[in-house]
Amino acid sequence: MSQTCIQAYHEMEERYARLVLKYHSNSQRNEILDAIEQSIAEHNMTPSITLSPAGESGECAVEFHDDYDKQSSTIFEFLIKKLGIASCEN
């Protein structure tokens, strides 16, 4: 049985940007959390993180609420590449 890949959804308006990562297992959840930790350490930017309770599936939202310079794209691109996500839906 093949495992469903992590899915990504992106929303943006004016200074607000959000990337939602939908996971389908605890290992994917941990992979997302590790990637977020790495991105924060490398880019010295701390977004708001909302995470579903531990379980077999859920979502992790990475949000920037006052992203005037659109720096969120650096973190979002890093996460998408690090997690091996082929496409992101709007």
pLDDT tens profile 3-21: 688 999 999 888 899 999 9
Please list, in sequence order, all residues whose beta carbon lies within 8 angstroms of the beta carbon of residue 34, skipping any fewer than 6 positions away. Answer: none
The pTM for the full model equals 0.87
44/62: higher pLDDT: 62
Confidence class for position 1, pLDDT limits 50, 70, 90:
very low
Distance CA 71, CA 37 (A): 17
Residue 3 pLDDT: 63
Distance CA 72, CA 18 (A): 8
